[in-house]
Amino acid sequence: MSLLIDNVRLWDGTGSPARARMSVEVRDGRVFWVGPVADWQGNRASVRVIDGSARTLIPGLMDCHVHYSSPGGPDWIARFTDPLPEISIRAVELAETSLRSGITTARDVGAPHAINIKLARASKAGEIRAPTIHPAGTWIAHRGTYVPFARLFGDANELREAIREEIEAGVSLVKVALSGWNEGARPKDASDIPFDARLLSVAVQEAHRAGYKIACHANDRESCHIAARSGVDSIEHGMFLEKEDVEAMVTNKTFLVPTMSVWDAMLYYASAVDWPESRRTRAEGLREGSRKSVLMASQMGVQIALGTDAGGGAARHGRIAREAELMVDCGMSVQDVLLAATSRAAGLIGETERGSIQAGKIADLVLLDADPTENVAALRLVASVYQGGMRAV
């Protein structure tokens, strides 16, 4: 069946400005034709016509950093260890929440029990209402440094084995986490960050040799320093990047996925649920570092892809518009932010058939009640969402 989204304002995700009075024809799940209303040659009686007047059509949004196995909120880490049936049912609900906010593609960059792999398969099979999900399986981290429900290793051989096992389990990408030692876990004379440059290069090699991308959690100065020089495909969070780190990222073509919703949600909970002062201070530090890093990365030419870290931090699901607003607030142009949420995200994920509205691409589309290029808050005004040309929301 054909679909004609008629007389709509179009922002197509290619980098061109929004254009008024456009039409988009969808056939067999793909964009078939794009052009000015007056140029469409088909027969209106033989297509389903959607009136797009006073609305803006954009490509389906992409969130490069979510965790559907936790709902976010003030106790997000505890939620990862809820009973498995509860996590599983909730993950289905949260993926649908995400879809409703206009997200048609998501990277789930860490889940206990590889729930994200199962969720991705259920979505692909059409069994649940969810974005197209690219799962990273379970986080890989050095023993003693990260959440205990991650996949933990002690040396290079265990690290290689962990990556191979994740790939065999069916991930779309590999996710590693650099971090300082957990409190009291640091053995005498051990380095501060045991997942060091040497081990990270082992991980990068192992993932790339198998043809997989590798995303790296780095959220302190030392981790950012190591990750920026390692050749990972993306730095997740990267809230304490120095100028030299950003230069290395440009050279290595490493993306930044800023996840500013993390500190934004933390600052909200600091007052909403009376967190201790120390947590507020930490959130304020993250905000300051993050805003500086994102602006510098954007000005120096690092490719930025949007990620909310919904579920993996205090941020809840379905709030991608808030992340976009935070990116604009720190100095990025609205156009760059929208690209970060569509075609640049597609570049990071490796989605060659999605991310822009062009003939031949898969018709993942979002119809908004206002123009996000004028005010990015329009991303809150989702009228409908299409996945492969089918109305999903």
CB of 221: closest distance to Zn ion in angstroms? Answer: 19
Q: Which residues within the stretch 300-339 sit at the binding site for Zn ion (CB under 5 A)?
A: 309, 312
The two tokens of residue 13 are 């995700």
Site string for Zn ion, 259-298 (x = CB under 5 A): ----------------------------------------
Q: How many residues at the interface with Zn ion, by CB under 5 A? A: 2
- CB 345 → Zn ion: shortest distance, Å? 15
CB of 312 to Zn ion, least distance (A): 3
Instruction: Take residue 356 and report the two structure tokens written for it.
Output: 């822009």
In the bound complex, what is the minimum distance in angstroms from residue 66's beta carbon to Zn ion? 8
Q: Does 258 bind Zn ion (CB under 5 A)?
A: no
For Zn ion, the binding residues in 17-56 under the rule CB under 5 A are: none
Which is nearer to Zn ion, 31 or 241 (by Cβ)? 241
The span from the CA of 27 to the CA of 373, in Å, is 27
> Smallest gap, in angstroms, from Cβ of residue 70 to Zn ion?
9
The CB-nearest residue to Zn ion is 312
Structure tokens at 318: 């379905």
Residue 329: CB atoms within 10 A of its CB come to 14
How far is it, in rounded angstroms, from Cα 219 to Cα 316? Answer: 20
Q: Are strands 30-36 and 19-27 parallel, antiparallel or unpaired?
A: antiparallel
Which residue, 96 or 309, is less far from Zn ion as judged by CB? 309
**Minimum distance from CB of 76 to Zn ion (Å)?**
10
Q: Are 259 and 308 in contact (CB under 8 A)?
A: yes
| Other Cβ atoms within 10 Å of 350 Cβ, number | 12
Closer to Zn ion by Cβ: residue 10 or 256:
256
Smallest distance from the beta carbon of 283 to Zn ion, in angstroms? 16
Which of residues 33 and 268 has its CB atom nearest to Zn ion in the complex? 268
By beta-carbon proximity to Zn ion, the closer residue of 199 and 315 is 315
Nearer to Zn ion by C-beta: 59 or 307?
A: 307
Handedness of CA 331, 333, 338, 341 (dihedral sign): negative
Question: Please, what is the minimum distance in Å from the beta carbon of residue 54 to Zn ion?
Answer: 37
Closest to Zn ion by CB, 26 vs 150, is 150
Show contacts with Zn ion in window 159-198 (CB under 5 A): none
Which of 309/323 has CB closer to Zn ion?
309
Interface residue list for Zn ion (CB under 5 A): 309, 312
